[in-house]
Amino acid sequence: MSRYTIRVGVTFGTMLLLLLTVGFGQSWSVCLSILNLCLISAIMAMGVNIQWGYAGLFNVGIMGFTALGGLSVVLISKDSVQEAVNAGGMKMLMALIIFSLSIVLSHYFYKRFKSKWMVSATLLAGYIITRYFYLDAAQSIEAINPAFSGYLGGLGLPVLLSWITGGLFAAAAAWLIGKISLGLRTDYLAIATLGISEIIIAIIKNEDWLSRGVKNITAIPRPVPYEIDLQQVDWFKEMVATVYAGRLDLLPVSEQASALTAYASDASIVLVKLCYSGLFIAVLLLIIFLASLALDSPWGRMIRAIRDNEIAASAMGKNVTKRHLQIFVIGSAIAGVSGAMLVTYNGQFTPGSYIPLRYTFLIWVMVIVGGSGNNLGSVVGGFLIWFLWIEAEPFGFWLADVSTSFLDKENSIRQHLLNNAQYIRLIFMGAVLLVVMRFSPDGILPETNKKL
Amino acid sequence: MTDILNAIVLLLNFVFLPGLSYGSQLALGALAVTLVYAILRFANFAQGDTMALSTVMTILLTWLLQHFGITLGFMPTALLALPLAIIGCLIYIMLVDTFVYRYYRRQKSKPITIVMASVGVMFVTGGIVRFVLGPDHHIFADGERFIITAREFKAMTGLAEGLAIKTSQFLTITIAILLVGFVFYFLQRTKTGKAMRAYADNEDLALLSGIEPHNIVRVTWILVAILTTIAGVLYGLDKGFMATSYHQLLLPTFAAVIVGGIGSPPGAIIGGFVISFSELILTYAYKKFFIYLLPEILQPDSLLQFLGTEYKFAVSFVILVIVLLLRPTGIFKGKVI
């Protein structure tokens, strides 16, 4: 066994052990929640790892791409709000058509006449007409029952479909950004992704007709059964009865029925989470499988050659910008898929919760700590950092509490520090990133095929 | 005639003056970013949060001074705290440089690796800022709020629209002019400034001519500390302090740098004003303006706004995209200081 294999074994063993500790120590429901979020984080980290580890592209806008994935869940799976569609659907469609028409037209003018003035005039006119229709449409849609809906709703299709469309949404945005900023200085891409992600978040926060904004969308359909339904089904009841038979027999007969219901409700929660875990693991394995196939192919060797020496690769006739664009789109699409999965799992879409710390920065820490350029590394990083993330908040409070314990309980400084203790994990995670980058740039699981 | 004057005053009050002061604040921040770009060769993502940190220092010192009853009369007390805050900011930046950037500089790492380190610094700095002052909005400007209030202006001129000049606007513009003048004099006339320009232009040749890189880096950080602190404090005096809004200054600042041409100080100044004026021109609602100018039949009933104010940073992004598409080197061909 090589040292690398031992390393993989040890890290995955530790992960399992940590999960089992939580499972036995706290509860299996908590353990599965952590596991599920770890799986989603691992997929997010893998998207970034493909961009950074295999092509050296720095994406500071992961948050935007995951949010697009989340939006796609809403647009695909929620039922449409018929009244709102009747009130403003046509006008909104009109605005969209005029907007796309003006872009197509200006593109045509640019190709045909090469006149910048004509292009700007078309775009400006298109924008003004679009805005006229759009304002009207948005107002009439948002006016309909604002407390409960006030938005267009979605298509009412199965929620699993939205995982794919989430990837497509993110890919489209990434293509646009990549097309503009790749091929120029390397840091332009970072700045452009920062910009697009802030704009995407602003759109989903402010366009109530599309996403209800900060009023949130709840009750998103599930790909797995509901706990309540499970508890009514016979096979499930029997299964619980057989599993808990030993414990039930110890109880007096009069209490057995109520105990069975309690066990059933616990078991249904665990089973639902297990279903989710199954789905997530399937997606994760599929992505790992595809990524390792791609990276061992001639295409993957080309990508690594480009990363290691762009000039040499382009001298060998490889189109560096095009390959970068491909990689960037693929990585962002994976981030979009994971964003859709997260919203599906949470069962709600909350635009206010998209903050760069959680959706961009944390993912970066996962990639760097896990080992950039190694897919298993992303899985490990996703797991460990999510675990730390959960534990870092109580740690921050503990630190603030202990360091000010000599002060009076009502002391204003102590109160203030305790109130702001949540920001300690911002500092903590930043420090983790800086330290790992500096002292162990390879991460926990280093890249295996570094040398070609 | 008065209608036309009213319309002009309206625009001066709501677009021109705010644009001038916001543009100056952006220009100072962009100048700091462009200096780091030119000398240290990376995009400093920590700029916005470092601005926030130095403003936090200023606010704390201001509170301390106010506690002891020391004020500057009609000027904001923050001006007294400013020099100390600059020193504090410089100490922080030098610590960061010693522990983070210096290693990558010696390793001759790729710029993108240093950018990533600066993102790490950004989050640590942002964390400290939020830990100390929290996410809330703080107003720390004291003294007279206005040099000329809208009412005084109306009484003076007899117009229906007032032109108010805020103390913070006046301070911003004066200080910005002085500071930019100083920086340009320093870069063009002094020996160290010339050495910095030589180093930015060609590192190897500069080393051959006996220019000490440590000194260059140190002087650069000193300039950055001065610019960052002053830009942050002026912005805070104008709009109040809030951690997130400082963080979000990053995008307009970068846009300003790229529009002007990366590494070009005059470009950063021009870029700052391009961004600030486009932002204000596109998000201002022109309804009242046209009510003054047009006959009653033609008067509009909608707001006549190109873009809602919640999308104001989309403006910097769009300008950024246009520049990247049409002229990636920026207005002044970038990469020379």
For residue range A367-378, what is the model confidence (pLDDT) as tens digits? 988 888 888 888
- Alpha-carbon gap, residue B179 to A323, rounded angstroms: 45
Which pTM does this prediction carry? 0.87
- Alpha-carbon gap, residue B214 to B212, rounded angstroms: 6
Hey, how many other C-beta atoms are within 10 angstroms of the C-beta on A434? 21
Contact A39, A277 (CB under 8 A): yes
pLDDT at A263: 80
Which amino acid, one-letter code, is at A142?
E
- The closest of B198, B217, B219 to B208, measured between CA atoms, is B198
A206 vs B310: CB contact, 8 Å cut-off? Answer: yes
- Alpha-carbon gap, residue B12 to B15, rounded angstroms: 6
A202 vs B314: CB contact, 8 Å cut-off? Answer: yes
- Work out the pLDDT band at A452, boundaries 50, 70, 90: very low
The predicted model gives A186-206 an average pLDDT of 86
Q: Which range is most confident: A200-214, A379-393, B86-100, B128-142?
A: B86-100
pLDDT at B31: 94
DSSP letters, B109-169, are: --HHHHHHHHHHHHHHHHHHHHHHH-SS-B----S-SEEE-HHHHHHHH--SS---EEHHH
Give B156→chain A minimum CA distance, Å.
39
pLDDT at B263: 83
Q: Which CATH architecture has domain B2-326?
A: Orthogonal Bundle (1.10)
Domain segments of chain B as ranges: 2-326
- Alpha-carbon gap, residue A149 to A219, rounded angstroms: 12
Chain A and chain B share a number of CB contacts under 8 A equal to 126
- Work out the pLDDT band at A219, boundaries 50, 70, 90: confident
Give the nearest partner residue to A180 out of B123, B262, B325, using CB atoms: B325
pLDDT at A407 over 80: no
- Give the H or E element holding residue B87: helix B78-96
Contacts of B120 in chain A (CB under 8 A): 430-431, 433-434, 437
SS3 A349: strand
pLDDT at A258: 79
Q: What is the residue-averaged pLDDT of chain A?
A: 84
B123 vs A58: CB contact, 8 Å cut-off? Answer: no
Give the CA dihedral B260, B320, B24, A200, nearest 10 degrees. -160
Q: Poorest-confidence range of A100-109, A120-129, B69-78?
A: B69-78
pLDDT at B172: 92
Express each pLDDT in A56-94 by its tens digit: 888 888 999 999 999 999 888 888 777 777 777 788 888
Contacts of B43 in chain A (CB under 8 A): 187, 190-191
Give A192→chain B minimum CA distance, Å.
8
pLDDT at B223: 94
Give the class (CATH, top level) of A3-80+153-439.
mainly alpha
pLDDT at B132: 87
Q: What 8-state DSSP symbol labels residue A354?
A: -
A429 vs B325: CB contact, 8 Å cut-off? Answer: no
| Tokens 């650069």 found at | B220
Give the nearest partner residue to B324 out of A181, A205, A424, using CB atoms: A181
SS3 B290: helix
Reported ipTM: the value is 0.84
pLDDT at A449: 63
| Tokens 């010192």 found at | B61
Give A437→chain B minimum CA distance, Å.
8
Question: Mutate which of A57, A131, A198 to test chain B, going by most B C-beta atoms within 10 A?
Answer: A198
The predicted model gives A34-59 an average pLDDT of 89
Give the CA dihedral B100, B106, B108, B109, nearest 10 degrees. -20
Q: What is the residue-averaged pLDDT of chain B?
A: 87
- Work out the pLDDT band at A280, boundaries 50, 70, 90: very high
Does B44 or A394 have the greater pLDDT score?
Answer: B44
Contacts of A431 in chain B (CB under 8 A): 120, 124
Q: What 8-state DSSP symbol labels residue A79?
A: P
Domain segments of chain A as ranges: 3-80+153-439, 81-152
Task: Determine the residue of chain B that is closest to A177 in CA distance.
Answer: B321
Express each pLDDT in B277-329 by its tens digit: 999 988 888 887 878 877 777 777 677 777 778 888 788 888 888 888 888 88
pLDDT at B337 over 50: no
pLDDT at B336: 42
Question: Mutate which of B49, B131, B323, B333 to test chain A, going by most A C-beta atoms within 10 A?
Answer: B131
Does A149 or A60 have the greater pLDDT score?
Answer: A60
Contacts of B122 in chain A (CB under 8 A): 430
Give A284→chain B minimum CA distance, Å.
27
pLDDT at B334: 58
- Alpha-carbon gap, residue B114 to A347, rounded angstroms: 39
Q: Poorest-confidence range of A286-295, A414-423, B88-97, B101-110?
A: A414-423
- In terms of C-beta density within 10 A (0-12 exposed, 13-18 middle, 19 or more buried), how is residue B270 classed? buried
Both tokens of A130, joined, read 């679009």
